[in-house]
Amino acid sequence: MSASPFSFWIPPEIVHEIATWCSKDSLTALARTCVTFSAGAEKQLYEDVGVVTVECLDTLLANPRKRDLVRQLTLIYRNDNNALGRKASIVLACLCDTLVDLKSLRILRLFDRSVHRPRDYHDKMGVRSLVKRLGEVLYKAKFHRLHTVHCDKWFLAWNVCRFIKSQPGLKVFSTNELLKMELSELHEMEKMQAGSVPAVFAEESYRENRARISIFPGLYAPTRVQATLKALESHWRHWEEKIETFTIYVAGPTQVDVDTSIRDSCAIIRNRMNVKLLYILFDRPYDIPVKEVADAIRTLPELSSLSFLKYTLDDKPEQIWHTQDSDEDVRLAKLGAWTDACPSLDRVTFGTIERNVEVGVL
């Protein structure tokens, strides 16, 4: 690598600007030109390494200086066939060796895109032991700058709460599924120490890359809901217009808190052009606010189904539960306001402890 006299006259900010416009291949070439361009190109190249490969991880493992540049890392695990499965296993092994030394890591994404396999498949491929090893790295390593994680539960041995407890600096966490018992444990963590639970959401993909998103403002104290939702706002942009279902769990000590939570929750899902199903889950009887709901669905032009359902974290049976809209005239009045706001809406469901009252729109 040369030290071109010409390059010394180029300010670092200009080198950075050039690097930001380069593709990965161009950055690799730029890094080999001279010392001055090398620093700027490598910073851009390794700051977000994208979807990791064996070659990338080997480079990081052998070069501490480059490891310190890494801010974002993504793993997509696939086992579509035996050859791909073996390659994916090698990537997992390399990641276990490398991840613990990525001290500057800010954003980590681990996706499992495997096809369904027999129970003994992962044992034969040696994958189960690798996943267990990766889980231990995630639990025990201290990533002091890590603030955002998406990690499918398979990589965490289905122990989401243990991971969140192990990373106190975490601000946003998402996974492919959050069970009621996990949400209950997170809620207890939040009650024990306010601010201990990051903004969490579930992001589940299904047919043709369509997605279901679930958010849980009801886990947090009312004073934390707005900041928590703000932290979530940009974290499903990679789905673009592929989100078809939103689920929102709201809770609060007063009706005003619930109204505010619904309003703030719906504000971050506005203008999603493909959303067809919206579920709003309550932990106790509330009067469903007409205006807040109308304002939310007004910006969802494809919405066809709106549901208000019971969802309690403790699973304790209740004597009476309904959404306080048991009167048919009240339901129809609200329905009229919501269909005016969203003409595509053709079904609204009001949940009760005994049954769901569905109101079809003619």
The yes-or-no verdict on residue 13 having pLDDT over 90 is no
Task: Assign 357 a pLDDT band (cuts: 50, 70, 90).
Answer: very low
From the number of C-beta atoms within 10 Å of its C-beta (0-12, 13-18, 19+), residue 205 rates as middle
Instruction: Write the CA distances from 12 to 20, 38, 48, 82, integer angstroms.
Output: 12, 11, 19, 47
Co-location of 30 and 113 in the same domain? no
> pLDDT of 322-355, one tens digit each?
555 556 777 788 888 888 998 899 888 877 544 4
Query: What's the structural domain count of the chain?
Result: 3
Query: For the residues 82-97, what does the mean pLDDT come to?
Result: 78
Structural domain boundaries enclosing 257 = 194-362
φ, ψ at 169 (rounded to 5°)? -85, 0
Residues contacting 332, CB < 8 A, separation 6+: 359
Look at residue 320 in the predicted model and tell me its pLDDT. Answer: 43
**233 and 332 assigned to the same domain:** yes
CB contact at 8 A, 264 and 215: no
Q: Does 40 share its domain with 70?
A: no
Is residue 133, in this structure, part of any structural domain at all?
A: yes
pLDDT category of residue 361 using cuts at 50, 70 and 90? very low
* Whether 165 contacts 125, CB under 8 Å: no
Domain match, 148 and 227 both: no
Provide the token pair at 272: 């999603």
Quick check: 316 pLDDT over 90? Answer: no
Quick one: pLDDT at residue 239?
66
Tens digits of per-residue pLDDT, 167-218? 888 999 999 888 888 999 999 898 888 778 999 999 887 666 678 889 999 8
Task: Note the residue count of the chain.
Answer: 362
Which residues contact residue 316 at a Cβ distance below 8 angstroms, ignoring those fewer than 6 apart? Answer: none
Percent of the chain with pLDDT over 70: 79
Between 249 and 23, residue with greater pLDDT? 249
pLDDT, position 291? 85
Q: How far apart are CA 320 and CA 135, in angstroms?
A: 43
Regarding whether 146 and 90 lie in a shared domain, the answer is yes
In a domain, 189, yes or no: no
pLDDT at res. 354:
40
The whole-model pTM stands at 0.82
Q: Does residue 29 carry a pLDDT above 50?
A: yes
Q: 175 in a domain, yes or no? A: no
Residue 359 predicted with pLDDT over 50: no
The pLDDT, as a whole number, for residue 321 is 46
C-beta of residue 323 within 8 angstroms of C-beta of residue 354 = no
- Whether residue 274 is predicted with pLDDT greater than 50 in this model: the reply is yes
Q: Are residues 214 and 307 in the same domain?
A: yes
Instruction: Note whether residue 183 is domain-resident.
Output: no
Is 150 in the same domain as 199?
no
One domain for residues 90 and 213: no
Q: Give pLDDT, residue 146.
A: 92
Determine, yes or no, domain membership for 185: no
Q: Which residue has the tokens 């492919």?
A: 176
**182 falls within a domain:** no
Span 299-314, pLDDT tens digits: 888 899 998 888 878 6
What mean pLDDT, rounded, does the chain reach?
79
Q: Are residues 161 and 228 in the same domain?
A: no
Which segments of 21-175 are extended strands (E)? 48-51, 72-77, 107-112, 148-151, 172-175
Q: Is the pLDDT of residue 356 over 80?
A: no
pLDDT tens per residue across span 128-166: 788 888 888 888 888 889 999 998 888 887 788 889 988
Confidence of residue 360 (pLDDT cuts 50, 70, 90): very low
* Same structural domain, 211 and 82: no
How confident is the model over 276-291, as a mean pLDDT?
A: 85
177 domain-assigned: no
Dihedral sign, CA of 179, 184, 188, 193?
A: positive
